[in-house]
Amino acid sequence: MKNIAVIYWSATGNTEAMALAIAEGAKREGISIRLFEVGNASVEDVLKADAVALGCPSMGAEELEEEEMEPFVSFLENEDLKSKPMVLFGSYDWGDGQWMREWEERMTKLGVYLVEDGLIIQNTPDEAGIKKCNELGAKLANL
């Protein structure tokens, strides 16, 4: 059985809704995803996964959330993640996605295989947004 991890941070539930919809999309393909809030995840969970989805909203001024997600991503930068299949996702509000572009750049520098461009959704995902998340989950399940 494939080992797929979805690890996210969310304050008001928007990125969490995306994470749940990604997991649901994979489940419909017969693959169960291990879902973690980042505070409950370890770097090991990323290393041993066949594919990983990492989620965080835009916080600060176009930044990753600084207490949990930023340190987690910094830890990942000390690991060998070459060719690790990964997708990034998160919710935002007034920005233009700068936090996601910078996050993608950091992951790309590590040699991570970004399966798709980061999925960003403004505020709460609507039906179309949930569908995109489901499709992303299905894509991870079928890699």
- Identify residues 95-124 at the interface with ligand FMN (CB under 6 A): 95, 123
- Contact with ligand FMN (CB under 6 A): which of 5, 38, 53, 59? 59
Query: How far apart, in whole angstroms, are the C-alpha atoms of residue 91 and residue 57?
Result: 5
Helix then strand then coil, % of the chain, to nearest 5: 40, 20, 40
Q: What does the alpha-carbon distance between residue 45 and residue 43 come to, in Å, rounded to a whole number?
A: 5
Measured from the CB of residue 23, what is the shortest distance to ligand FMN in angstroms?
15
Closest CA to 35 of 126, 123, 27: 27
Least Å from the CB of residue 48 to ligand FMN: 26
Residue 69 binds ligand FMN, judged by CB under 6 A = no
Residue 92 Cβ vs ligand FMN, minimum distance, rounded to whole Å: 3
For residue 33, the cross-strand partners are 4
The answer to the question of residue 15 lying near ligand FMN (CB under 6 A) is yes
Task: Count the site residues for ligand FMN by CB under 6 A.
Answer: 19
Q: Which is nearer to ligand FMN, 57 or 118 (CB)?
A: 57
- Strands 51-55 and 4-8 turn out to be parallel
For ligand FMN, the closer CB: 58 or 134: 58
Q: Which of 61, 78, 82, 127 binds ligand FMN (CB under 6 A)?
A: 61
What span, in angstroms and rounded, lies between the C-alpha atoms of 26 and 137? 4
CA distance readout (Å), 19 to 79, 111, 133: 24, 23, 8
Q: How far is the CB of 79 from ligand FMN (least distance, A)?
A: 25
Sites of contact with ligand FMN (CB under 6 A): 10-16, 57-62, 91-95, 123
